[in-house]
Structure 1
Amino acid sequence: MSFRTSGLHHVTAIGGDPQRNADFYVRTLGLRLVKTTVNFDDPGTYHLYYGDESGRPGTLLTFFPWKDAPSGRIGTGQATTTAFSVPERSLGWWRDHLAAQGVEASDVVTRDNEETLTFRDPDGLVLALVAHPQGDPRDPWDTPLVPGEHAVRGLHSVTLSVSREDATVGTLTEDLGLSFAEEDGNRFRFNAGEGGPGAMVDVLVTPDAPRGLVAAGTVHHVAWRAPDEQTQVDWRSELVDRGVSVTSIMDRQYFRSIYFREPGGTLLEIATDQPGFSIDEPLLELGKALKLPPWLEPNREQIEAALPKLDLPSENNPAGA
């Protein structure tokens, strides 16, 4: 493959009540809601983007939250764990913080020389906080509830659960340009570039697990980074030439996207790093207002009437912003 991703761009999941979703990810997890918009393919629901201060690629977890969405089933053919990077020696603080917020977390376990704490969001989405021994230089979003010294630095990795690994591994290495890093029993790690937080994926082989069902509490797709639009155009052409069934390029306003499904069942995306989230509102005001793309703006009144009320937690924006 001529093209190699530099790492994760974002993970998109299905949520339930949007207010509960925002309260959890802004207040409990300490992320910033960097964009309040709608699902461009179904504008009757929000699309909420959480990340660092500016929503840089590699920090983002996004949601399509439907208030009455049925619960999904976690299983093969999905990304089953979304992990975030936190500083070393922070997991004790996080365990106490999550307990104070009424969130039950696992004991801290060590795997691949990394300490990991696992828990679920209010809809059952499996999340993990991982302290990478070499650290993570990315700047945190600092809030009164989650101070910068302990705060999330960005995505750490995702885990893809499959019934067999061969075809999925082929997609990761041949279509995304990842490289095999290590094996731990039925878990295989792959790196983008040199690896490290935000540039890793684990393939977990669970042949006896049920097939996953995408609904509330599950991941919808995993997006990987492309540096610019021309790279994405050329990358898509090469995928098509290789026989991959890939979508046309879609304008997501804050990046451009193509989608294809790996043989194990997980929907993958290649998304451009640009133009980013500050193209339609100032950095200090990210997330505060409902933003619509130009082609949906004429329908703003109807769209706003169909969406449930969403009160953005005060931690999301600096005082006076």
Structure 2
Amino acid sequence: MSNIKIPGIHHITAIAGEPQRNIDFYTGILGQRLVKQTVNFDDPGAYHLYFGDEVGTPGTILTFFAWPGAPRGRWGTGQIVAVSFAIPPDSLTYWSNRLQEHGVNVKEPVTRFGEQVLSFTDPDGLTLELITHQQAEQRRVWQHGPIPVEHAIRGFHSLTLAEAGQEATAAMLTEVLGFQLLAPEGNRYRYVVGQGAAIDVLNLAHETRGRIAVGTVHHVAWRATDDAQQLAWRQDLLDQGSDVTPVLDRQYFHSIYFREPGGVLFEIATDPPGFTRDEPIEELGSHLKLPPWLEVERAQIEQVLPPIHVPVSNEETQQG
């Protein structure tokens, strides 16, 4: 096992259908800030939308590839099946009422590992959870969003993997990535690392394999504090026999990718340079930003992308 420690989750990337519906839900109902509108660098005809706190702090960033008209995915093994956000301990009733008022089908709260869990889905069927967390109020929040600060989402709490058998995944988490098994609860195993990063592994031996498409999670990115730490991780993973990509420039961070034994795509992403490298804080998310190698294709890209309306609270109301 490496001596390097993962500080936590950097971001989670999922797949949406209609981009405007996605923006309206995550900004208008969940109160996240659209901190960046760009494109999928590997598929420039599709939006890549980033939501988070005021500046897109690592650990708050949920991103979406928007594929209008694409088919729905299928829930199953080899997949991240739930994205969980942290909320303050006294905010469960507020969120239950708010979600129901906006027509969101909310399940009855359950207790998991001593914390209250509120489950629901976004408009594309992605499973989301709000989990009460004792340290949530110590985390940063978007001060100017539509949610009262005392109830606002405080970044990620955890994520849930579904696996046909959890032993090989557990070995990678503990022996390679440095996670520790916190506790089992039924067929759910919770692993933690760094500053409270948690991953639950569901052992679902008889469940069918999932299919990644609209309404499912594409991958999770773990944090590296800088490029040097990321390169050290890459070498460790290669030494352990993992098939790891070269370092890729994602403009707002650098990335390497590999798969855990159950098939879920993992990424390790650097904290810097961050989302203010091409926009000031007050304008984050208000303009379509392209990396230099795609800027020459801006006219063609803008013709293909459907127009979107950016919330007024993000300072601008319309994409150029």
Q: TM-score range by the shorter chain?
A: over 0.9
Q: Distance in 2 between matches of 1:142 and 1:107?
A: 29
* Aligned positions of 1:77-226 closer than 5 A: 77-143=78-144, 145-193=146-194, 195=196, 199-226=197-224
Match of 2:296 in 1: 298
Shift of residue 318 of structure 1? 9.1
- 1:214-264: CA deviations, max 9, x gaps? 000000001100000011112101211211001111000000000001111
Q: Give yes or no for the alignment of 1:57 onto 2:58.
A: yes
Amino acid at match of 1:97: R
Q: Distance in 1 between matches of 2:48 and 2:269?
A: 16
> SS state of the match for residue 141, structure 1?
coil
Amino acid at match of 1:220: H
Amino acid at match of 1:8: I
Q: Distance in 2 between matches of 1:51 and 1:165?
A: 30
CA gap of 1:181–1:194, structure 2 versus 1, over 3 A, is farther
Q: Distance in 2 between matches of 1:154 and 1:232?
A: 22
> SS state of the match for residue 295, structure 1?
helix
Q: Distance in 1 between matches of 2:85 and 2:257?
A: 23
> SS state of the match for residue 158, structure 2?
strand
- 1:75-123: CA deviations, max 9, x gaps? 1001100000111111111011111111010111111111110000000
Amino acid at match of 2:81: T
- Whether the 8 Å CA contact 1:186–1:206 is kept in 2: the answer is yes
CA gap of 1:143–1:119, structure 2 versus 1, over 3 A, is farther
- Whether the 8 Å CA contact 1:168–1:262 is kept in 2: the answer is yes
Q: Distance in 2 between matches of 1:150 and 1:161?
A: 30
Match of 2:278 in 1: 280
Q: Distance in 2 between matches of 1:140 and 1:101?
A: 22
- 1:153-178: CA deviations, max 9, x gaps? 10110000001011101111123211
- 1:283-314: CA deviations, max 9, x gaps? 01000000000111111111111100010122
Q: Distance in 1 between matches of 2:145 and 2:156?
A: 21
Amino acid at match of 1:27: G
CA-atom RMSD in angstroms: 1.3
> SS state of the match for residue 120, structure 2?
strand
Amino acid at match of 1:29: L
Amino acid at match of 2:40: N
Q: Distance in 2 between matches of 1:210 and 1:142?
A: 42
> SS state of the match for residue 93, structure 1?
helix
Match of 2:23 in 1: 22
Greater alpha carbon shift after TM alignment, 230-239 vs 8-17: 230-239
Match of 1:46 in 2: 47
Shift of residue 144 of structure 1? 5.7
- 1:196-225: CA deviations, max 9, x gaps? xxx111011111111000000000001100
- Whether the 8 Å CA contact 2:310–2:316 is kept in 1: the answer is no
Shift of residue 194 of structure 1? 5.2
- Whether the 8 Å CA contact 2:27–2:34 is kept in 1: the answer is yes
- Whether the 8 Å CA contact 1:26–1:315 is kept in 2: the answer is no
CA gap of 1:151–1:317, structure 2 versus 1, over 3 A, is farther
Amino acid at match of 2:308: L
Amino acid at match of 2:138: P
Alignment TM-score, normalising by the size of structure 2 = 0.96
Shift of residue 184 of structure 1? 0.7
Greater alpha carbon shift after TM alignment, 186-195 vs 297-306: 186-195
- Whether the 8 Å CA contact 1:30–1:143 is kept in 2: the answer is no
Paired positions, count? 316
Match of 2:251 in 1: 253
CA gap of 1:194–1:143, structure 2 versus 1, over 3 A, is closer
Could you list the runs of 5+ residues in structure 1 that have no partner in the other structure? Answer: none
Question: Identity of paired residues, percent?
Answer: 55
> SS state of the match for residue 210, structure 1?
coil
Amino acid at match of 1:41: D
Amino acid at match of 2:202: L
Amino acid at match of 2:218: H
